[in-house]
Amino acid sequence: MHVRLITRPQVIQLLPMKQAIDLMRRGFAGLARQEVIMPPRTRLLAEHGDLLMKPTYVPGEGISVKLVLTYPDNAAQGLPVVQGLMAIFDDQTGTPLSVMDAGALTAIRTGAGGGLAIDLLARPDCRTLTLIGAGVQARAQLHAAMEVRAIEEVFLYDPVDAAREALELELQIYPVPPKVTAIKEPDEGVVQSDIVITATTSATPTFSGSALRAGTHVNAIGAYQPDRREVDETAMRRAYVVVDGHAAAGVEAGELRIPGIQADADLSEIVTGSCPTRTDDKQITLFKSVGMAVQDAMSAGYVFEQAKLQEIGLMIDFAGVNG
């Protein structure tokens, strides 16, 4: 029994953002067609962080299980905040096929989900963006946004200078990188942006909902617990609210639970056209993400297939190890 071990740099190499966004589109469409078996995720709270376990079965992609741990204090120690492992099994025999880094996979697929939401909900002419946060997920969200909209200026808020500087340096990979303007308060950017992205560990709202101008799209990404929210009630009530999944968001999204708000649609309904996108250029739209296991399964399946084709990854003989 040989299992392919795929490292973090290899996951990044094999899963470009443009491809990841297409995988999200296909995954949410499959979810709408009820082709995906996706039990509710299990969450374990530890003293310094939490563990999420997400099993999924997608026909043609195999059976997968993600174990992802989020430890907010890791940043101060120079460690990744999000770490974990993704395992893939053959759906015919149950044989383990691959184990890969889940930290990079989670960052890319979450960014891609945000990119899909922007592609479906934001105005086509969006050029300015406020990014609240400059960590791994904030950067993934920005890269995804730039895949689907011609972003010319980014208003960037993060209290950590090094994080802002790292993001600015990272944007130099683009032939024409957007202008980056550091702001002292998030509302400074929100009042002049077409798109607002929140990707923080904050437990309380990161900007004022009254600062949103007509036609803005918001991606709220960071909070995934019922007692935490990055977006206030004013913004939620002003917006046409789309979630990644009704059931999960209804339980886990503080943006919905704290003010007692229900989402208008989820991404699978938008992708398949059973619910509308924005109605006009003045409507405020908002995507609230808590993460869906189908996103992991689609991404991991693609990474595994590419790794096989390109002969990337370390093959481990589990039977030999076990004697």
- H helices of the chain, in order, are 8-14, 17-32, 102-121, 136-148, 161-170, 186-190, 233-238, 246-252, 254-257, 267-272, 293-310, 318-321
Cα separations (Å) of 107 from 146, 212, 257? 16, 26, 25
pLDDT at position 319 is: 75
pLDDT at position 223 is: 82
On whether both 286 and 308 belong to a single domain, the answer is no
Helix (H, G, I), strand (E, B) or coil at 268: helix
Pick from 78, 175, 170: nearest CA to 131: 170
On whether both 176 and 305 belong to a single domain, the answer is no
- Indicate whether 114 belongs to any domain: no
- Decide: 186 and 79 in contact? Cβ < 8 Å: no
pLDDT at position 136 is: 87
Which domain covers residue 101, as residue numbers? 2-106+294-321
DSSP structural state of residue 2: E
Residue 7: CATH number of its domain: 3.30.1780.10
pLDDT at position 323 is: 43
- Indicate whether 118 belongs to any domain: no
On whether both 302 and 160 belong to a single domain, the answer is no
- Decide: 52 and 224 in contact? Cβ < 8 Å: no
Local mean pLDDT, 10-residue blocks, the chain (323 residues)? 94 97 96 90 88 89 90 86 92 93 94 97 98 93 97 94 88 91 96 97 94 98 88 97 91 91 95 94 96 93 97 89 48
- Indicate whether 141 belongs to any domain: yes
pTM of the model: 0.91
pLDDT at position 101 is: 95
Give the contacts of 193 (CB within 8 A, at least 6 positions apart): 128, 129, 130, 155, 213, 216
Cβ atoms within 10 Å of 278's Cβ, excluding its own:
17
On whether both 299 and 283 belong to a single domain, the answer is no
- Indicate whether 112 belongs to any domain: no
pLDDT at position 321 is: 54
Three-state DSSP string of 64-120: EEEEEEECHHHHHHCCCCEEEEEEEECCCCCCEEEEEEHHHHHHHHHHHHHHHHHHH
Q: Give dist(CA 117, CA 285) in Å, integer.
A: 10
